[in-house]
Structure 1
Amino acid sequence: MKEIGGYFELENLISDEYYSNLISLNSARNSLLYLIKVKNITKLHIPYYLCDSVINVLKNNKINFDYYKVNSDFTPKFEGKLKKNEFLYIVNYFGQVSNEMILNFKKLFKNIIIDNTHAFFQNPIDGIDTIYSCRKFFGVPDGSYLSTDIKDVKKLPLDKSKDRMQHLLGRYEENAFDYYKQFQTNDEIFEKEPIKQMSRITHNILGAIDYEYVRRVRNKNYIYLYQKLKNFNKLNLNIPDGAFCYPLYIENSFEIRKKLIDNRIYISKLWPNVLNEDRDKIALKYSNNILPIPCDQRYNEKDMEYIVDIILEELIKEMGE
């Protein structure tokens, strides 16, 4: 029976999602699991340079997998042949793998899955399974979009996000530091979450975002960092559309990371699990030395200037020693 009257719930906001035509699930890892199930994938070939959440999904669901190396330009260094139900999992690191390159990989390997969790604004290609993460780009508690030709989600339960909002609301009204534990707890929940449809709360927030503004700010901030730091960066980078972050590769980046964190500029260490893996030297170096500099829609050119000044000061100090 429908409830009428009483106190108000959260308002329904503008419903204008960026990928309203794609499947919407509760997490990127579950988008991968969905693909594995509906496509009857028997084996997945994954890069060494990868977050452990994907690896854990495969292990927890007893999915057969093996590793391949990546080239210095972030493309797969895969020389094997895929059998009928085997797929190559290609990560679009920092948005550096273009759609033109992806089409070439499709011709070469046929069975591929594209991980666009670092490239929200890079549109999927028809006929190529593509995964997106909402949490990596926006202030939402969960959510993933999936581009695939098998859309069998109606029987999946609907996720509920109300108990995963504390860190978002806490940082919005107060600060990040005091709610970091809640953020970590929220992250851990997804390890055991089954495949569900995206929650109404997440849909509601995603429908009200000004995506062109987000894209424009990210592009402007990225270009500023690119221009100021390219002479120090050991990576040869393209300029992606609506960048995830600016990846700055500097040997022995520990001191710069520490200096940034001391100034409340939080630089995550992408995929520290790779540090336990010495079979791919490039993955090991990248995990150790790439600093993912924030350039998202929360910040402006002054913020970028502040970050650059700290980095350059530390670099100049190191060169003088």
Structure 2
Amino acid sequence: MKEIGGYFGMEELVNQEFYSGLVALNSGSNALLYLLKARKITKLHIPYYLCDSVSNLLEKYNYEFEYYHVDQEFQPIFDKELEPGEYLYIVNLYGQFTQEKTLALKKHYGQLILDHSQAFFQKPLEGIDTIYSCRKYFGVPDGAYLATDAVLHEELEQDISKDRMAHILGRFEGTASEYYADFRSSNDLLAEAPLRKMSKLTRNLMGAIDAERACRIRNENYAYLEKQLGLDNPLNLTMPEGAFAYPLLVEDGISVRNRLAEQKIYIPLLWPNVIEDCPEESIEYQYAANILPLPCDQRYGIEDMAYLVEMVKKQWI
């Protein structure tokens, strides 16, 4: 029975989703699970340089997988012929895969899944299954979009996000450090969430975000950081559209992170599992430990970027 009357809940916000035509799911990991089921994939080749949420999901659902390495420009080092049912999982690290590089990979390998969790604003290409993460780019508790022509013939429930909102609402009126425990708790809850459709709450929020503005600001901030730091950055970078972060490769990155955190500048160690699992001399270990993903998102302007550069140089150079 429908309720009528009583107190107000959240309003229906403007519905202008950036990817309204894609499959809307509750997490990037579950978008991958959707593809594994719909494509009837039997084996996945994944990079060592990757969050363990993917390997954990594959183990949980008993999918076979193997690791491969990446080179200094984040490109896959992979020379195997893919058998029927085998797919190559490519992570578009820091948005460094241009359209041309992506099409070349598709032509070479064929059976490809592209992870755009660090490249939200790079549009999907026809015939390439592509996964997008919402919470890596915006203040939402969960959510993912999937570009695919594969159809999963299962009835999916709609997720519920209200219990994963505390850290987002808290930081809006408080500080990140106050609500970090809630952030970790929300991550843990999402990691255990089954494959579901994107929640009403997340979809409502995603429809109200000014994505074009966010993309423009990210471009401006990234360009500023590249101008100020590029000559000292060993990475050979391509400027992506709507950058996830500016990747700065330094020596002794973990110590630099810690010193910056003392100044309330929080630079994530994206995938600590890579440091635990890979040998210290590997490119994966070195990149995980020593690349600083400097924030350049829509929360900040050029004055913030100037301060960030100043503080990074004090701790690094």
| Structure 1 residues 241-300: Cα deviation after superposition (integer angstroms, max 9, x where no partner) | 100000000121233212211111111101111112336811111011000100000011
TM-score by length of 2: 0.97
SS class of match (2:146): strand
1:232 is displaced (CA, Å) by 1.4
Q: How far off its partner does 1:99 sit?
A: 1.6
AA paired with 2:148?
A: T
CA distance in 2, matches of 1:37, 1:234: 40
Q: What amino acid sits opposite 1:143 in the alignment?
A: G
* Aligned residue number for residue 110 of structure 2: 110
Q: Which runs of at least 4 in structure 1 moved beyond 3 Å after TM superposition?
A: 151-154
Q: Is the 8 A contact 2:34 2:152 kept in 1?
A: no
Aligned-partner SS, 2:73: coil
Matched, 1:206 2:206: yes
Amino acid at match of 2:135: R
Residue 180 of structure 2 is matched in structure 1 by 180
The SS at the match of 1:90 is strand
| Post-superposition offset of 1:314 | 2.5
TM-score by length of 1: 0.96
- The corresponding residue for 1:319 is none
1:51-200 aligned at under 5 Å gives the runs 51-152=51-152, 155-200=155-200
Amino acid at match of 1:199: S
Summarize deviations over 1:194-245 as a string: whole Å, max 9, x none: 1000000001000011111101110111111111011111111111010000
SS of 1:225's partner is helix
The reply on whether 1:219 has 2:246 as its aligned counterpart is no
2:261 is matched with 261
Give the match's secondary structure for 2:232: coil
- Distance in 1, Cα, partners of 2:207 & 2:43: 36
Q: 1:210 to 1:154 in 2, by over 3 A?
A: farther
Report the AA paired with residue 55 of structure 1: S
Deviation at 1:153, TM superposition (A): 6.9
Tell me how far 1:192 sits from its aligned partner: 1.6
Once the two structures are overlaid, the 10-residue window that deviates more, 193-202 or 272-281, is 272-281
Alpha-carbon deviation of 1:175?
1.0
Amino acid at match of 2:17: E
**Secondary structure in 2 matching 1:231:** helix
Deviation, 1:6, is: 1.3
1:54, 1:282 → 2: CA distance? Answer: 20
Structure 1 residues 228 and 27: CA distance shift in structure 2, 3 A: same
Contact 1:30 1:194 in 2 (8 A): yes
Q: Distance in 1 between matches of 2:150 and 2:88?
A: 18
1:308 maps to which residue? 309
1:4 paired with 2:7, answer no
Shift of 1:190: 2.1
Distance in 2 of aligned mates of 1:313 and 1:269: 20
Q: Shift of residue 9 of structure 1?
A: 1.3
Q: Structure 2 vs 1, CA of residues 261 and 295 (structure 1 numbering), >3 Å: closer, same or farther?
A: same
1:191 is displaced (CA, Å) by 2.2
Where do 5+ consecutive residues of structure 2 fail to align? none
Matched to 1:174, the amino acid is G
Secondary structure of the residue that 1:56 maps to in structure 2?
helix
One-letter amino acid of the structure 1 residue matched with residue 15 of structure 2: S
Q: How many residues align?
A: 316
Tell me how far apart the structure 2 counterparts of residues 102 and 94 of structure 1 sit (CA, whole Å). 14
Q: 1:200 to 1:154 in 2, by over 3 A?
A: farther
